[in-house]
């Protein structure tokens, strides 16, 4: 069972590539070669398109498609994730580069490289702090709402390209798109629709037709995945031979420098690092969470395992390599990964092959990219992004869990109305708060002694001895800011019901932590109780909890209350002193 | 015991004033009268000062000190909270009004009134949704870090006033204050330092001296609290008689319209409501959380009780009344509440008296306010705000709980470096994430049957029967996005240790909710298990959980797995079918 195999050697842990390379077969290579070529066919236009979407020169997307996937192949735990420029990261980069405080500093290419470097460093720091588990703290509804919202923003951003309208100048939000609805350029629109039509036709309709005539599945895959290449080639040829740029102002990619990028090691000025930090933080978060989510989809289909912390390392180094090789920030791309998987990729060898093809394309074919019409690229972005808009999912979530549904809808609307960062922040806060509300009522048991023993059990479930002046309470969870008020209210309500209580013992058997807020509330509660002639004690506090409390004044403040080792000790001592009956 | 008294009649719940008015005594009135006068003496300069701090004409602070405290006296549950303009809300208002998208719409007074109205409406909506408990979800370290950071910002903002430098023009952040260090105005500085010196002298030194000569405590309080009034009067007289405004350009308050405000019911344009919404949301959050925190401090000292949801109603209506009477947003003020409490306020009657004095001051004395020097107001703000900077607290928190310490420091630095809203957001997210990390490892027990019974217990604690092909797991908490990955890992690791398992039964006795994320992960897990010939079952699911699951495809997907009513049924049926041994 693949699921349960677990090769834990250090080398394989750091370089997962070693794991599969040891037993790599000719058969797997054939599959990977095919998938690598197919993915490369998509990677070229996507690299250019996402760079333009981010507001950057096309080569930043191409360069991000060479070194970063090679690095990821060495360090990443997913066998099919296609790392490179990604649509949602691209729109976030566009947002960062057009923010007033960033654009005021000029040189967007430099800013983009600093974003790559900063994201890489943040990911490596997170890996160092073992924060890979953070990915678990963004709930699926928030992620889906966010992805849908960001995708809608991208669609809104790309439609003007498809219609030949001017690129948005008023920022990335839902409101400003209205002004573009006048002045459609018919030739550009024809190009865009031709490309879009080809992409749609090469999807289900063609596959269905080829299956009907009994073609071999591998061949069907090969042919159907050539839609993007064909769309780009046909429209580029049309632009070149009909001179559409000069005669009909069809927007094209423009010059792409030939050859591999020179390595860059100068990332000054430091001021930009400061201004870009909040943007890199959000790009990092989303790049990481989306990459792991995509990686998990394909890993689940083949019962492979994704190691979140190792992914942080892999994506972190990949982003650093993007910065050094002149590329925009990278992440796992949804549509490319799906194409890679569907084309039969068995391992990251497929992406190594794709990266090699990209490198050759950049060296030998970059003059050919000049006349690629932006409208055709817009069609490719639209085809890649549309499956990410899952509005139906909101209805399903809403029906299943109202709180999750609200969070999903709020995230989507937040992204559309207030922007990417604001939307995801809102979503995260809503989920966390709703989660806290669910978990902020810990189990608290009033306990008594099982006669003749030293066992103390819940008075609701067992026949136990209790004392008129003594309240024994067992709190069954960590005591934190989220539940201390519930605990305080519980104690006060018990005291209202039992007005003769003079001593309270809090039993900490299950308490493995007391945070700062809880400690302060307990201190205040103790003062209030002392004013009412009630003494607070604690018992059975574990070592780490006691160590923490001893750093503070709390136990001294309890006096005459005490910290007992066992609950039985408390009962014995209080009985002896005649304090309880 | 006051703590435990609980008058739950509907009328008293809605109008807590009824509770204390019924048994209101002559003695209490004397205390309240004294405290009301003392608080009013502080309220006049603070009202003006906080309005100017917010970048608004002085009357917006004065008007906010009349109707809102009267409304709060009717609805609020704190007996000593002084509701009115507050320093931290003021700096947040300043931030909102200077934000480019807000200032572009012009008319800051109108924007301030919309902020009041919007904050009031948000609070009432929160009350309607019973979100008063939200206050518990901002931990003390985050609140302290935030308050310290915001107070430092205010100090940075006020020092130029004290030194007679121009008001900051480059926004509210730590970086831009450097440029003011040139060009100090000596006369203004003299006024500022005189006022500050008086305020400091009227604090501990004077109290100490008066105690030494054996003066009556009430008289000491009365005299010592007159510092602000004296400082304002002396410096204003100096400005008026020495004509310092004309001769030395000493900045003064300027004209304040005489008489009570006209009521306002027009809060157009709607566009401003949209642009101001994020700012009102943060102001609401902070105004509410800080008010309740301050109210609790004094309530704890007298063993009174604060009802968080009723506070939302009281502060919500108070803010609406501020909007209607031309006042800036209001909250509980820390220094004023402390003065009110120390001066012996027993009930909100003190604030009713203070509001009446404010109204008289506005009607009869507003011409006198014109020559109050801003430097003296800066001194009053500095005296009020300095105790809120608790840098030592960070060190204490850091020592006690590292996670809380990091959150506190990050919030403080976030506020200073990136701004108020960003800082508090960062702090909240850090605390919630650290809380989730602590609580994301639920207790999971592998259980077996106690021989001869139908009881299933933890195999680690009891002598129980188990089966080679069956894994019985009891999850002891709600299953959510925060812990589902831990649960999944737990199951996979059990399967690695027991490779003969063919059936898994998840026992849901303690599971009262399964959220959307958890459901998706369980669905994927089930697919992976099915591929490995392992069947997943569930048992003992409670009604609401089963209802939720039945809205989805999950139970059908389990097939041949089943949802059993009792764990015993599962064991019986699987044994009969010969599936387990």
At B421-439, the pLDDT tens digits run: 889 888 888 887 777 777 7
Look at A393-402, B170-179, B363-372, B471-480 and tell me which has the smallest mean pLDDT: B170-179
At A165-191, the pLDDT tens digits run: 754 455 555 555 555 555 678 888 899
Residue B419: band (very low, low, confident or very high) from pLDDT cuts 50, 70, 90: confident
Q: Which of A134, A435, A512 to mutate to test the interface with B (most CBs of B within 10 A)?
A: A435
- Mention every residue, 6+ apart, whose C-beta is less than 8 A from residue A247: none
Residue A348: band (very low, low, confident or very high) from pLDDT cuts 50, 70, 90: very high
Residue A245 has pLDDT above 60, yes or no: yes
Q: What is the pLDDT of residue B432?
A: 79
Interface check A141 vs B, CB under 8 A: yes
* 401-430 in chain A: CB under 8 A from chain B: 401, 403-404, 418, 422, 425, 428-429
Q: What is the pLDDT of residue A443?
A: 79
- Mention every residue, 6+ apart, whose C-beta is less than 8 A from residue A366: A59, A256, A257, A258, A259
Judging contacts by C-beta atoms under 8 Å, the chain B residues touching residue A422 are 278
* 197-256 in chain B: CB under 8 A from chain A: none
- Mention every residue, 6+ apart, whose C-beta is less than 8 A from residue A516: A481, B139, B140, B141, B397, B400, B401, B404
What is the phi-psi region of residue B192: left when phi exceeds 0, alpha when psi lies from -120 to 50, beta otherwise? alpha
Q: What are the tokens at A250?
A: 């069809």
At B269-328, the pLDDT tens digits run: 888 999 999 999 999 999 999 999 899 888 877 778 888 899 999 999 999 999 999 999
Look at A267-276, A512-521, B450-459 and tell me which has the smallest mean pLDDT: B450-459
Least CB-CB distance to B439: which of A400, A418, A478? A478
Residue B3: band (very low, low, confident or very high) from pLDDT cuts 50, 70, 90: very low
At B200-214, the pLDDT tens digits run: 998 889 989 999 998
Q: What is the pLDDT of residue B444?
A: 87
Contact assignment for B139 to A519 by CB distance below 8 Å: no
Interface check B488 vs A, CB under 8 A: no
Q: What is the pLDDT of residue B177?
A: 54
Residue A259: band (very low, low, confident or very high) from pLDDT cuts 50, 70, 90: confident
Interface check A482 vs B, CB under 8 A: yes
Least CB-CB distance to A425: which of B3, B425, B548? B425
Interface check B496 vs A, CB under 8 A: yes
Predicted structure pTM score: 0.71
Per DSSP bridges, beta strands A456-458 and A444-449 are antiparallel
Look at A361-365, A420-424, A451-455, B419-423 and tell me which has the smallest mean pLDDT: A451-455
Tell me the H-state helices in B305-373: 308-324, 334-342, 349-364, 366-369
Q: What percent of chain A has pLDDT over 90?
A: 48
Residue A119 has pLDDT above 90, yes or no: yes
End-to-end Cα separation, chain B, in angstroms: 62
Q: What is the pLDDT of residue B445?
A: 87
Judging contacts by C-beta atoms under 8 Å, the chain B residues touching residue A404 are 515-517
Compute the nearest-CA separation of B252 from chain A (Å): 34
Q: What is the pLDDT of residue A475?
A: 87
Look at A112-116, A518-522, B254-258 and tell me which has the smallest mean pLDDT: B254-258
At B85-122, the pLDDT tens digits run: 999 999 999 999 999 889 999 899 999 999 999 999 99
Interface check A441 vs B, CB under 8 A: no
Q: What is the pLDDT of residue B216?
A: 87
Residue B7 has pLDDT above 90, yes or no: no
Contact assignment for A139 to B515 by CB distance below 8 Å: yes
Residue A431 has pLDDT above 80, yes or no: yes
Residues A537/A538/A540/A543 CA torsion (nearest 10 deg): -130
Compute the nearest-CA separation of B501 from chain A (Å): 12
Q: What is the pLDDT of residue A4?
A: 41
Average pLDDT for chain A: 88
The mean pLDDT value for A383-407 works out to 89
Least CB-CB distance to A303: which of B4, B531, B548? B531
- Between vectors from CA B243 to CA B241 and to CA B249, what angle results, nearest 5°? 145
Residue A164 has pLDDT above 80, yes or no: no
Average pLDDT for chain B: 88
ipTM of the complex: 0.71
The mean pLDDT value for A336-365 works out to 93
Three-state secondary-structure class, residue A332: strand
Q: Which of A295, A515, A533, A554 to mutate to test the interface with B (most CBs of B within 10 A)?
A: A515
Interface check A576 vs B, CB under 8 A: no
* 247-286 in chain A: CB under 8 A from chain B: 278
Judging contacts by C-beta atoms under 8 Å, the chain B residues touching residue A435 are 436, 480-482, 515
Kindly tell me the burial class for residue A80, based on how many C-beta atoms sit within 10 Å of its own C-beta (0-12, 13-18, 19 or more): buried
Residue B8 has pLDDT above 80, yes or no: no
Q: What is the pLDDT of residue B4?
A: 41
Contact assignment for A516 to B422 by CB distance below 8 Å: no
Compute the nearest-CA separation of A483 from chain B (Å): 8
Residue A2 has pLDDT above 60, yes or no: no
Compute the nearest-CA separation of B548 from chain A (Å): 6
From residue A407, how far is each of A46, A431, B128, B478 by CA, in Å? 31, 6, 19, 18
Interface check A431 vs B, CB under 8 A: yes
Going through A128-202 in order, the beta strands assigned E by DSSP cover none
From residue A422, how far is each of A354, A548, B520 by CA, in Å? 36, 37, 26
Contact assignment for B133 to A485 by CB distance below 8 Å: yes
Q: What percent of chain B has pLDDT over 70?
A: 95
The mean pLDDT value for A292-306 works out to 83
Q: What is the pLDDT of residue A440?
A: 77
Helix axes A391-400, A402-418, angle to 10 degrees: 150
Least CB-CB distance to A496: which of B4, B139, B527? B4
Judging contacts by C-beta atoms under 8 Å, the chain A residues touching residue B515 are 139, 401, 403-404, 435
Three-state SS sequence of A206-254: HHHHHHHCCCCHHHHHHHHCCHHHHHHHHHHHHHHHHCHHHHHCCCECC
Three-state SS sequence of A391-446: HHHHHHHHHHCHHHHHHHHHHHHHHHHHCHHHHHHHHHHHHHHHHHHHHCCCCEEE
Helix axes B140-162, B402-418, angle to 10 degrees: 30
Q: What is the pLDDT of residue A3?
A: 43
At B39-60, the pLDDT tens digits run: 998 899 999 999 999 999 999 9
The secondary structure of residue B253, as a DSSP letter, is -
Look at A209-213, A263-267, B16-20, B438-442 and tell me which has the smallest mean pLDDT: B438-442
Look at A9-13, A146-150, A345-349, B545-549 and tell me which has the smallest mean pLDDT: A9-13
Q: What are the tokens at B165?
A: 């430098």
Helix axes B374-385, B334-342, angle to 10 degrees: 80
Helix axes B374-385, B26-53, angle to 10 degrees: 120
| Cα–Cα distance, A155 to A386 (Å, whole number) | 8
Q: What is the pLDDT of residue B304?
A: 80
| Cα–Cα distance, A527 to B3 (Å, whole number) | 12
Interface check A450 vs B, CB under 8 A: no
Interface check A399 vs B, CB under 8 A: yes
At B229-244, the pLDDT tens digits run: 899 999 999 998 988 8
Q: What is the pLDDT of residue A253?
A: 86
Contact assignment for B481 to A435 by CB distance below 8 Å: yes
Interface check A523 vs B, CB under 8 A: no
Contact assignment for A436 to B438 by CB distance below 8 Å: no
Q: Which of B101, B144, B481 to mutate to test the interface with A (most CBs of A within 10 A)?
A: B481
Contact assignment for A438 to B478 by CB distance below 8 Å: yes
| Cα–Cα distance, A149 to A152 (Å, whole number) | 5
Residue A5: band (very low, low, confident or very high) from pLDDT cuts 50, 70, 90: very low
Q: What is the pLDDT of residue B63?
A: 96
Contact assignment for B401 to A516 by CB distance below 8 Å: yes
Q: What is the pLDDT of residue B32?
A: 94
Three-state secondary-structure class, residue A79: coil
Residue B580 has pLDDT above 70, yes or no: yes
Which of A399, A177, A519, A43 lies closest to B396, judged by CA? Answer: A519
Interface check A390 vs B, CB under 8 A: no
Q: What are the tokens at B305?
A: 């009780």
| Cα–Cα distance, A489 to A563 (Å, whole number) | 22
The dihedrals phi and psi of A16, each to the nearest 5 degrees, come to -55, -20
Contact assignment for B432 to A432 by CB distance below 8 Å: yes
From residue B412, how far is each of B98, B391, B426 by CA, in Å? 21, 9, 10
Compute the nearest-CA separation of B209 from chain A (Å): 31
Q: What is the pLDDT of residue A235?
A: 93
The mean pLDDT value for A282-311 works out to 88
Contact assignment for A516 to B404 by CB distance below 8 Å: yes
At B383-410, the pLDDT tens digits run: 888 988 998 989 989 989 888 899 999 9
């Amino acid at each position: 069972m693949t699921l349960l195999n677990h090769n834990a050697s250090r080398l394989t842990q750091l370089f997962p590539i070693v794991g599969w390379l040891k037993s790599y077969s000719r058969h797997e290579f054939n599959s990977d070669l095919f998938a690598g070529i197919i993915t490369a066919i998509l990677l070229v236009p996507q690299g250019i398109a996402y760079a333009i979407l981010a507001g950057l020169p096309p080569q930043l997307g191409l360069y991000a498609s060479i070194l970063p996937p090679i690095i990821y192949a060495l360090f990443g735990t997913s066998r099919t994730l296609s790392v490179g420029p990604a649509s949602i990261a691209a729109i976030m980069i566009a947002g960062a580069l057009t923010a007033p405080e960033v654009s005021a500093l000029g040189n967007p290419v430099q800013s983009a490289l600093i974003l790559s470097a900063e994201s890489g460093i943040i990911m490596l720091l997170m890996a160092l702090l073992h924060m890979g588990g953070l990915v678990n703290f963004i709930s699926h509804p928030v992620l889906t709402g966010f992805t849908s919202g960001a995708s809608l923003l991208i669609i809104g951003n790309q439609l003007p390209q498809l219609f030949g309208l001017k690129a948005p100048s008023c920022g990335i939000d839902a409101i400003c798109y209205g002004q573009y609805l006048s002045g459609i350029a018919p030739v550009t629109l024809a190009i865009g629709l031709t490309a879009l039509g080809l992409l749609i036709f090469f999807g289900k309709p063609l596959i269905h037709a080829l299956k009907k005539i009994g073609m071999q599945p591998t061949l069907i895959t090969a042919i159907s995945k050539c839609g993007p290449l064909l769309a780009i080639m046909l429209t580029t040829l049309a632009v070149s031979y009909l001179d559409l740029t000069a005669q009909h102002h069809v927007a094209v990619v423009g010059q792409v420098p030939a050859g591999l990028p020179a390595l860059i090691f100068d990332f000054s000025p430091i001021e930009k690092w400061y201004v870009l930090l909040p943007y890199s933080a959000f790009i990092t978060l989303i790049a990481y969470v989306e990459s792991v989510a995509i990686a998990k989809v394909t890993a689940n289909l083949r019962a492979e395992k994704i190691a979140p912390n190792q992914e942080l390392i892999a994506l972190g180094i990949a982003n650093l390599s993007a910065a050094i090789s002149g590329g925009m920030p990278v992440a796992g791309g949804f549509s490319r990964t799906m194409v890679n998987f569907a084309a039969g990729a068995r391992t990251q060898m497929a992406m190594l092959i794709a990266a090699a093809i990209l490198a050759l394309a950049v060296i030998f074919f970059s003059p050919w990219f000049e006349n690629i019409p932006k409208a055709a690229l817009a069609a490719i972005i639209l085809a890649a992004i549309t499956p990410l808009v899952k509005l139906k999912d909101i209805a399903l979530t809403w029906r299943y869990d109202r709180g999750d549904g609200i969070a999903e809808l709020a995230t989507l609307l937040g992204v559309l109305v207030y922007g990417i960062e604001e939307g995801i922040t809102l979503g995260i806060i809503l989920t966390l708060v709703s989660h806290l509300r669910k978990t902020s009522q810990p189990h608290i048991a009033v306990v008594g002694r099982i006669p003749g023993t030293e066992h103390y059990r819940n008075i609701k479930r067992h026949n136990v001895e209790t004392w008129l002046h003594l309240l024994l309470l067992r709190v069954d969870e960590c005591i934190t800011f989220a539940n201390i008020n519930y605990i305080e209210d519980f104690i006060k309500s018990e005291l209202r019901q039992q007005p003769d209580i003079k001593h309270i013992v809090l039993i900490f058997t299950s308490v493995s932590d007391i945070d700062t807020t809880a400690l302060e509330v307990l201190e205040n509660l103790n003062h209030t109780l002392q004013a009412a002639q009630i003494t607070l004690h604690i018992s059975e506090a574990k070592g780490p909890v006691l160590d923490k409390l001893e750093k503070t004044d709390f136990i001294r403040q309890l006096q005459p209350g005490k910290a007992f080792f066992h609950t039985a000790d408390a009962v014995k001592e209080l009985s002896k002193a005649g304090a309880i009956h």
